[in-house]
A = this chain, B = another copy of it.
Amino acid sequence: MSRRIRRTPFTDRVEQHGVRGFSVVNHMLLPKAFQPTVEEDYWHLRKHVQLWDVSCQRQVEIKGPDAARLVQWMTPRDLRKAKVGQCLYVPLVDDKGGMVNDPVLLKHAEDHYWLSIADSDVLLWAKGLALGSRLNVSVEEPDVSPLALQGPRAEDVMAKVFGEAIRDIRFFHFGFVDFMGTRQLVERGGYSKQGGFEIYLNDSRLGSVLWDLIWEAGREFNMTPGCPNVIERIEGGLLSYGNEFTRENNPLEAGLANYCKLDGSIDFIGRAALQKVASEGHVREMRGVLFDGGACPPCGKPWPVMAGGANGPQIGQITSAAWSPRLERNVGLSLIDRAFWEPGQQVTVLSADGAARPGEVSALPFA
């Protein structure tokens, strides 16, 4: 541990809860596991509610007269109808159409946005673009650290703490709550498919106080400390920047065509590159892979996916995988070559433990 890998406003509490390890996202600690196994944690997340320190979802604040222009320039998603109070999943691409990040955009005002980012320095990207093109805009990282409540009882905990009005916040929208004399942004969303909220705490000094308040309220709902669950997120088809796709990949192959407005009605970085990909047809696309051979090990290096048997041609690579105790099969994510991407395609996964595991291509999310 060093200062370079930043602690969060909630790290003290997370340590008190016996966190078993951290990952690093955006130069910041992300809890990786607590006492239960990933499987126990998975079942708990589907039934109850968990408190997650996702401060590493740093905010890039873009503000000023040219803010809307800069934000639209950064993404192929059409933002013309975006409303204040709305959250939008926005692929960011470079001039070659490669993915730079896949943040959630929060529209505060016509001239004020947050990008809630995955693991790359969007701050430097946006700042560089703004400086280079002399846009009249400020680009900063505010003191904002999201704390997530995830799981079916999240709404009840939130209502208990912040009042019933919280129930009116729609999915992928945000509102505000009062907390200790401060005003805090609350979004309905989060990095699971089990429902929940994220509180974008805007004052680091209040981290432990906020955690304790939620924690106490959560006791009757069987709340546990948690973190993004690899089984649940793969089952739900939630992609992870750096794992499923990188700057080597374009949003069309990442399965994000719905977020790409390529008809020429908006201008953005990488438009020509993406139009070319679209006109030629992208050659691979994100898919699920269901496969057998017993519980697979963690997927640290990509695992080749072969068409048919182990000697078939390579048609993809698994970049995240886990044993699903619900489906009783392994679930994985992979870009799959066009000729083989139909669900049902028989494949063999060559996992790092040396096993050749039979399986098949699946649609996402997994059933």
Contacts and interface: CB of A to CB of B under 8 A. Distances in A.
Interface in A222-241: 240-241
A96 to B, nearest CB: 10
Nearest to A124: B125
Q: How large is the interface on A (under 10, 10 to 19, 20 to 34, 35 or more residues)?
A: 35 or more
Contacts of A269: 131
A132 B69 CA distance: 13
A70 to B, nearest CB: 10
Nearest to A1: B300
Nearest to A12: B301
Contact of A128 (B2, B129, B134, B319): B129
Contact of A127 (B2, B3, B7, B128): B128
Interface stretch (A114-122, A286-294, A338-346): A114-122
Contacts of A243: 2-4
Contact of A24 (B5, B240, B300): B5
A46 interface: no
A7 B300 contact: yes
A27 interface: yes
A18 interface: no
B240 A127 contact: no
Contacts of A23: 2, 5
Contacts of A301: 3, 7
Q: How many copies does the complex hold?
A: 2
A94 interface: yes
B242 A3 contact: yes
A27 B94 CA distance: 19
Contacts of A129: 128-129, 131-132
A135 B302 CA distance: 36
Contacts of A100: 124
Contacts of A300: 1-3, 7
Contacts of A319: 3
Contacts of A125: 121, 124-125, 127-128
Contacts of A3: 242-243, 299-302, 319-320
A272 to B, nearest CB: 13
Interface string A1-40: 1111101000000000000000110010000000000000
A13 to B, nearest CB: 15
Contact of A132 (B120, B121, B128): B128
Interface of A: 1-5, 7, 23-24, 27, 94-95, 100, 119-122, 124-135, 240-243, 269, 298-302, 319-320
16 contacts: A2-B240, A2-B242, A2-B320, A3-B299, A4-B119, A4-B240, A4-B242, A5-B242, A7-B300, A27-B119, A121-B125, A124-B128, A126-B128, A127-B128, A130-B132, A132-B134
Nearest first, the 6 closest Cβ-Cβ pairs linking A and B are A132-B132, A128-B128, A4-B242, A121-B121, A132-B133, A124-B125
Given A100-B124, A125-B127, A128-B129, 19 more contacts: A2-B23, A2-B240, A2-B320, A3-B242, A3-B243, A3-B299, A3-B300, A3-B301, A3-B319, A4-B241, A5-B24, A27-B242, A124-B125, A128-B128, A128-B131, A128-B132, A131-B269, A132-B134, A132-B135
